[in-house]
Amino acid sequence: MRSWSFPLMRVMGLELRLHMFFVLLLGFCILFANVAGISVTRACALWTLILIAVLVRELARILAAAYLALELRNVLLLPIGGLFAYASPQSSDRANEPRIVRTMAVIGPLANLGFAALLAGLILAASPGIPLFVKPWVTPLHLLRSAVCINLLLAAIHLLPAYPLDMGRILRRAVSGPQAPAPQFSIPRVLTQTIPILLFVFGAIYQIPWMLVAGFFIPIGAHLDDQGMLFQSVVDTVRMGDIMLTDFSALSPSDTFEDALEKAVHSLQDDFPVVRGRNLVGVVSKQHILDALHSEGNGYIQGIMLRAFHVAQTGDSLGSAFRRITGGRGLSLVPVIEGERIVGIVTLQNLMHSMGLLSEGRRRRQQEE
């Protein structure tokens, strides 16, 4: 989810991330404005209205998720809506319950419809002469009218039975069950592939920009969500013992900095476990060794190694290891132990490589089924 995205804000302790395709949409708005002879400022304002409509939708869904006891990790924002990442397998499973799927699918469109009604009421109260529903519905030239129509169109788009739109989620859950992604030749998969093409074709023929945008981003959202769910299934089911490196380099507390660097030359690791015999006593990074050598001269590893660090057992899930790696002390290594003895390591590099292979293997098996 972090690939090609950046943090936008935090809501209720939850990180909302903006995908780079939203920035691509900003470029599309500016290009459209230049061709039409409209100011860039108005194009940016139109893009901001789209972002606000998506935020209204997702904030409502976040509140609904909290009410339904769904623990979220973060939300990825796309021009057609947001994709949820769940903080635990239990929340992910609960989110696939039919009642929860239907409830979450209703919340988003209702939020946009309610916000559109509120905007329309304010506009008509302040300026009764403004026509709200005149083509073009979405244009940088009429931002007030566009604000209402953007919310109405976003709600309407999610009534299409294409995944990951709200109606598409209901259909896929009803036809394919909780599995993800849906089988290759199932009705949800066919509709997800067909509807964006139709939107794009009609948008190009009749010069309707919002159809082009929807047709472009629906398959992108489906791909990102499928990949995220596959990634999550790997995270929740694969154990550390299945993926740990058993052939790794280790240092001794009595090694000097120069000895350690000599060993590091022949290793691809950035971080090293420090062992006495087979017992784990610390961890140290290559960069920390270099910094100490430059500032203090030659010394011993036991003087700079970290003695407080995260470890994992062979039966721990990859999800717990991944959170330890991304949340701990600047290290990209988690030692795997049995008792006090180190039996393997998981590094960020081998974790991402192995999870990519595992996800690809599961995706191929699901397609064959």
For position 326, which CATH number holds?
3.10.580.10
pLDDT(318) > 90: no
Q: 148 and 100, same structural domain? A: yes
Q: 255 and 188, same structural domain? A: no
In a domain, 26, yes or no: yes
In a domain, 167, yes or no: yes
pLDDT(273) > 80: yes
Buried b (16+ CB within 10 A) or exposed e, 247-258: ebebbbeebebe
Q: 325 and 214, same structural domain? A: no
- Please list the residues that pair with 275 across neighbouring strands: 280
Over residues 149-160, mean pLDDT: 96
The count of other CB atoms within 10 Å of the CB of residue 37 is: 6
pLDDT(328) > 60: no
Beta-carbon-side half-sphere exposure of residue 331 (alpha carbons within 13 Å): 25
Least confident of 61-65, 176-180, 239-243: 176-180
Confidence category of residue 252, pLDDT binned at 50, 70, 90? very high
Q: 245 and 218, same structural domain? A: no
Q: 125 or 230: whose pLDDT is higher?
A: 125
Confidence category of residue 58, pLDDT binned at 50, 70, 90? very high
- Please list the residues that pair with 85 across neighbouring strands: 74
pLDDT(133) > 60: yes
In a domain, 330, yes or no: yes
pTM: 0.73
Q: 248 and 233, same structural domain? A: no
Over residues 259-283, mean pLDDT: 88
* Residue 272 near residue 283, CB atoms below 8 Å: yes
Q: What is the greatest pairwise CA distance in the chain?
A: 84
Q: 82 and 159, same structural domain? A: yes
In a domain, 369, yes or no: no
Confidence category of residue 240, pLDDT binned at 50, 70, 90? confident
Q: 346 and 289, same structural domain? A: yes
* Residue 14 near residue 72, CB atoms below 8 Å: yes
Alpha helices in 78-177 (DSSP H): 89-95, 98-126, 143-157, 166-176
In a domain, 164, yes or no: yes
The pLDDT of residue 110 is 97
Q: 195 and 304, same structural domain? A: no
In a domain, 362, yes or no: no
Q: 199 and 297, same structural domain? A: no
Secondary structure class of 279 (helix, strand, coil):
strand
Cα distance between the two ends of the chain = 26
Candidates 183, 157, 166; CA nearest to 101 is: 166
Q: 162 and 58, same structural domain? A: yes
Beta-carbon-side half-sphere exposure of residue 276 (alpha carbons within 13 Å): 9
In a domain, 364, yes or no: no
Q: What are phi and psi of 188, to 5 degrees?
A: -60, -40
Residue 283: which domain range? Answer: 241-356
pLDDT(64) > 90: yes
Q: 142 and 15, same structural domain? A: yes
Over residues 166-178, mean pLDDT: 86
CA distance 324 to 326: 6
Q: 21 and 72, same structural domain? A: yes
Question: Helix (H) and strand (E) counts for the chain?
Answer: 13, 9
* Residue 320 near residue 334, CB atoms below 8 Å: no
CA distance 203 to 212: 5
Query: 237, 272, 295 — which closes off a domain?
Result: 237
- Please list the residues that pair with 337 across neighbouring strands: 313, 342
Distances (CA, A) of 354 to 230, 232, 238, 323: 13, 14, 11, 16
Give the pairing type, strands 333-338 and 312-313.
Answer: parallel
Secondary structure class of 341 (helix, strand, coil):
strand
CA distance 11 to 49: 19
Query: 178, 213, 237 — which closes off a domain?
Result: 237
Candidates 52, 45, 211, 53; CA nearest to 143 is: 45
The pLDDT of residue 2 is 54
Query: 216, 237, 258 — which closes off a domain?
Result: 237
pLDDT(97) > 80: yes
Torsion over CA: 5, 9, 10, 16 (sign)? negative
Cβ-Cβ contacts under 8 Å for 208 (sequence gap 6 or more):
202
CA distance 257 to 261: 6
Please state the domain count of the chain. Answer: 2
The pLDDT of residue 3 is 65
Distances (CA, A) of 362 to 244, 277, 356: 19, 39, 10
The count of other CB atoms within 10 Å of the CB of residue 126 is: 9
Structural tokens at position 245:
């490196």
In a domain, 367, yes or no: no
